[in-house]
Structure 1
Amino acid sequence: MSELCNKYTAQDFKSDQEVRWCPGCGDHAILASVQKALPEVAEALNYTKERFTFVSGIGCSSRFPYYMNTYGFHSIHGRAAAIATGVKVANPKLSVWEITGDGDALAIGGNHFIHAVRRNIDINIILFNNEIYGLTKGQYSPTSKLGIITKTSPFGTVEHPFMPGEIVLGARGTFFARSLDVEVALTKDCMVAAAKHDGTSVVEVLQNCVIFNDGTHAGFVDREVREDRTIVLRHGEPMIFGKNKDKGLVLDVENMNLKVVKLGENGITEKDILVHNAKNPNPGIHMMLVNMKAPELPVALGVIRAVKDSTYDDNVRDQVLDVMKNAKIHSMDELLRSGDTWEVE
């Protein structure tokens, strides 16, 4: 505890374990982003390294705690949210990070995921989304695209996929951000923002599995199309994107949806473009943003929603203090001597 927080570097958060993900896996970039983010978080929040704890479930991403020089807990399939919740409630001073995948969080762990979000527990959930089960060798997951051919859907899936952001907002989530594994700096910024948020923060990272689902995000991640098919949202700034920064988003009032316009056409100027308000309690525009799909609309990246609300941790603390204040019994001895008592001689 003697180290100064502002002297940490990414190297301080790297363990001595060999990173054993497949070469080219997007998990490597996410790990680097988190290790770059934590020194900034430690300095901003005046945290020592001992306050960081990583909890994972089961899946390729769940090896994460081994690679962090922090406290960690490699738990069981789908239960990372439950254990992270327990860690946080037991020791509210810890900065708790849950590492999970699209299968671990949204299939077997779906119930725990939505209730962690609903309760607004002050934990940070990083959801690795490669739209496939990688560790168990290529079965389709809750986020796999409709029609995809996998080992468990040889003729194509007949299920519509989850949109993680839609689930978070539907569960009354207070923070949701999205990034790409290849955008290390943006992912780092999302992690820092998540750590500073008081309440459940969910950061979805669209990640590539080079073995079982290579290129699943290629339609908007490939370098030649990325700038025209993604938009990085920043609170208080107009929603402008494109290789030439000449495209923007406006509200199509007739259809109550977002649409892309081009600056300079039909008299469109920057003043006509929607300004991103991540702090708006009304999730309407946020829901539209998380559901945008390329190529018709750009995929929204960055912090999409960040609103204030009471947290589960604070509510539990306040309730305990209130009960203690108003309790008539304050010790075990008082409890044993309360009510009708007698002495056996």
Structure 2
Amino acid sequence: MSTESGLNVLKPKDFANDLEVRWCPGCGDYSILAQMKKVLPELGIPKHKIVFISGIGCSSRFPYYLSTYGFHTIHGRAPTFATGLKIANPELSVWVITGDGDGLSIGGNHLLHVIRRNVNVNIVMFNNRIYGLTKGQYSPTSRVGHKTKSTPYGSIDRPLSALSVALGAEASFVARSLDVNIKHLGETLKRAAGHRGASFVEVYQDCNVFNHEAFSYATDKEVKADNTIYLEHGKPLIFGKDRHMGIRLNGTDPEVVKLGEGVREDDLLFHDEKAPEPSLAYLLSRMSYPEFPEPMGVFRCIDAPVYEEQVDAQVEKAVETAGDGDLDKLFNSGDTWTVD
């Protein structure tokens, strides 16, 4: 920790600790952890006011590897713990770390409610389309036909789109990034941290043991420009190595078009992350490889009432109306009895 103008200035190393990081060599989680350590000092928040809360899974080891407060909770329930903590102490910067299995299966219900309530927490979902910690079963985001230990003949389940789920719950901030695109990942995490309300960030993360190169179409330098599209607010959806392809609407359906063949940039779909209605953001969340280039970046970022602020306002109004409560009086009111 260095001193600048009499103030303590935190560095990435200040958020590290002496615990051995225990993920498989080459796991994408290392990259996410490294970018988080770089982003946290830029937030200007003291370490004792930062809390990481996780459920169960490889991603959920995250709180152990940061020199902040943290909770390693139970499977799928991290959003519930985070909601309680944020209401009890709104000044804390609260991060929920989850995975596609932890957050979208047993934790799906809890994830929906923390998002729809717009609790001011930051949710980061590591999506590797597999159960890694329990050794390679299919997850809620595994593709149809994917063969695993629990689907030896190929999965017949239609996969969930994490971003579509979040947008369906009226999320006020939704974004996607990649574990290996470190600059973009860092910028995305920083934007999420600065958002008032529930921010939801999906990170495509490589499980190099049980689902290696699941996202190679988006990470291989030879093909990624043709298979991904990076969203910029107010700008047309253009992609491709030569920036010669785009997305436009054909009625209500997106279609891939080639620029210069009777198609101008003005004919393309322009990204509006601040649109009050989430329909276009939802449409983008449904675009997936190989039919479409897969969108990366911020899908939605709007202002919306924050849950814990509304709770505090209700409490203040109740006190104004009824006065301070008396817990002992409450316990002894109504029908009471004595057990001899």
Q: TM-score range by the shorter chain?
A: over 0.9
Residues of 1 paired with 2:324 and 2:12: CA distance? 49
Look up the match of 1:143. 141
SS at match of 2:222: helix
Q: Deviations over 1:261-298 (max 9, x none)?
A: 222121x2222222211010111110111111123211
SS at match of 2:34: helix
1:211 is displaced (CA, Å) by 0.5
Going from structure 1 to structure 2, the CA distance change for 1:272 and 1:48 (only over 3 Å counts) comes to same
Look up the match of 2:337. none
Letter in 1 for 2:36: V
Q: Say which of 204, 207, 231 aligns to 1:206.
A: 204
Residues of 2 paired with 1:265 and 1:49: CA distance? 55
Contact residue 6 and residue 39 of structure 1 kept, 8 A = no
User: What is the aligned-residue RMSD (CA, Å)?
Assistant: 2.2
SS at match of 1:224: coil
Q: Which runs of no fewer than 5 residues in structure 1 stay unpaired? A: 340-345
Contact residue 220 and residue 295 of structure 1 kept, 8 A = no
Q: Deviations over 1:13-39 (max 9, x none)?
A: 112211111111110111111111112
Contact residue 26 and residue 181 of structure 1 kept, 8 A = yes
SS at match of 1:137: coil
Look up the match of 1:343. none
Look up the match of 2:267. 272
Letter in 1 for 2:260: G
Contact residue 2 and residue 9 of structure 2 kept, 8 A = no
Q: Say which of 18, 41, 44 aligns to 1:16.
A: 18
Going from structure 1 to structure 2, the CA distance change for 1:333 and 1:83 (only over 3 Å counts) comes to closer
Residues of 1 paired with 2:255 and 2:198: CA distance? 30
1:220 is displaced (CA, Å) by 2.8
Residues of 1 paired with 2:331 and 2:142: CA distance? 59
SS at match of 1:97: strand
Look up the match of 1:258. 254
Look up the match of 1:110. 108
Going from structure 1 to structure 2, the CA distance change for 1:53 and 1:223 (only over 3 Å counts) comes to same
Q: Deviations over 1:192-214 (max 9, x none)?
A: 11111111111000111010111
Residues of 2 paired with 1:93 and 1:2: CA distance? 24
With the length of structure 1 as denominator, give the TM-score of the two structures. 0.91
Contact residue 58 and residue 132 of structure 2 kept, 8 A = yes
With the length of structure 2 as denominator, give the TM-score of the two structures. 0.92
Residues of 2 paired with 1:140 and 1:332: CA distance? 49
Q: Mapping of 1:178-189 within 5 angstroms?
A: 178-189=176-187
- Verify: 1:304 aligned to 2:291, yes or no: no
- Verify: 1:35 aligned to 2:50, yes or no: no
Q: Deviations over 1:63-109 (max 9, x none)?
A: 10011111111111111111111111111100100000000001111
Residues of 2 paired with 1:125 and 1:10: CA distance? 21
Residues of 1 paired with 2:212 and 2:193: CA distance? 30
